[in-house]
Structure 1
């Protein structure tokens, strides 16, 4: 387990049952890029889920569609393609070939992304946060596990994320334990 994930595990209780295995090869093939090793470890330990009743940690192929990284990536790419016809992009997206991949979102509509640069190792990707699809962006030159551990420990404080996040006592609720809409419009425990 990497150092940042070890720090996070000390702060955020793990789910009682281990999450189902992720088909990383299919996820990476669908995204067209490898994913950071710290993120894969994070999902292998926690799976997708709700952190401190606010942050939705995304998981590739999650059975709860609201927590599916692949679905959110597709939605965000389409949304920003339209939005950036009329609004200014963050300066990091002005570089040719750069891409955003969401690794978390929130109940309020903020998104936490990796900044993907051509030729850069996924383990060097940094975190960008967008405030509710508007012009507010924050940059954190750190991995997703380091960001989560730093936020939950109080080491850093985001100006974009909700003022009441994180909670004083941290909790994690696995996405697979929630009732959610299926892609076919039915509800069930998935």
Structure 2
């Protein structure tokens, strides 16, 4: 297993490590979590690698919360595709646990097999709007280290992912909202970028979409 020190040397953590009450998190999930993920979460906190890869954390919002509604919603969508044959899925959706996502709409999954040996879980990445899957034979920290060092090229990820070098950007604190979350998928940022470029707006290839572009897109589809 790749030591977290390898990742932090490549991409320094932005803060002092923070202890998380993992017993409560694992109790809420009903399953033990990989040791490398726990270290990663404590060292880095919520945020994005290369302004593109977001790893779910215990907070700060329901959309990126490990114990929030998104992992189960995504699994339900996969199950529907699996049962209806919409897209070929190389893994049983019941064994896939969403551990992160990207600005383009791909998701990162733990392949939770064997279920009771989380340190042996591998990583899978789906295609945002297509049938392609990529499987990495290693842990989450090993996956991030390999991708951020340029050793692993995930076909679904942008070719210029490392153009500015490996980086980690912490999320800004967001107050937790307890009201029910509407049962709808996350916004397709790739579709917004495509619409914006087709309509003369300037948008970055990845990262945050400007608020005026987002507002214009929402007005156009409403």
User: How well do the aligned residues superpose, as a CA RMSD in angstroms?
Assistant: 2.4
Which structure has more relative contact order (CA 8 Å, sep 6+)? It is: 1
2:50 aligns with one of 49, 52, 62: 52
Q: Does 1:142 align with 2:141?
A: no
1:66 counterpart SS class: coil
Deviations 1:30-78 (A, max 9, x none): 2221110011111110012111111111113x02333212222122122
Asked if structure 1 preserves the Cα contact closer than 8 Å seen for 2:87 and 2:130, the reply is no
Cα distance in 2 for residues equivalent to 1:174 and 1:131 = 25
Asked if structure 2 preserves the Cα contact closer than 8 Å seen for 1:19 and 1:44, the reply is yes
Q: Does 1:22 align with 2:17?
A: no
2:192 corresponds to = none
2:150 aligns with one of 146, 151, 154: 154
2:153 counterpart SS class: coil
Q: Does 1:63 align with 2:60?
A: yes
Residue 178 of structure 1 deviates from its aligned partner by: 5.0
Distance 1:166 1:65, change over 3 A: farther
2:104 counterpart SS class: coil
Runs of 4+ residues deviating >4 angstroms:
178-181
Q: Which runs of 5+ in 1 are unaligned?
A: 186-190
Cα distance in 2 for residues equivalent to 1:148 and 1:45 = 14
Cα distance in 2 for residues equivalent to 1:43 and 1:167 = 25
Distance 1:90 1:154, change over 3 A: same
| Residues 74-85 of structure 1 aligned to structure 2 (within 5 Å) | 74-85=72-83
2:16 counterpart SS class: coil
Asked if structure 2 preserves the Cα contact closer than 8 Å seen for 1:4 and 1:149, the reply is no
| Residues 27-176 of structure 1 aligned to structure 2 (within 5 Å) | 27-60=25-58, 62-71=59-68, 72-86=70-84, 87-93=86-92, 98-132=94-128, 134-175=130-171
Q: Which runs of 5+ in 2 are unaligned?
A: 181-222
Residue 174 of structure 1 deviates from its aligned partner by: 1.8
Asked if structure 2 preserves the Cα contact closer than 8 Å seen for 1:100 and 1:115, the reply is yes
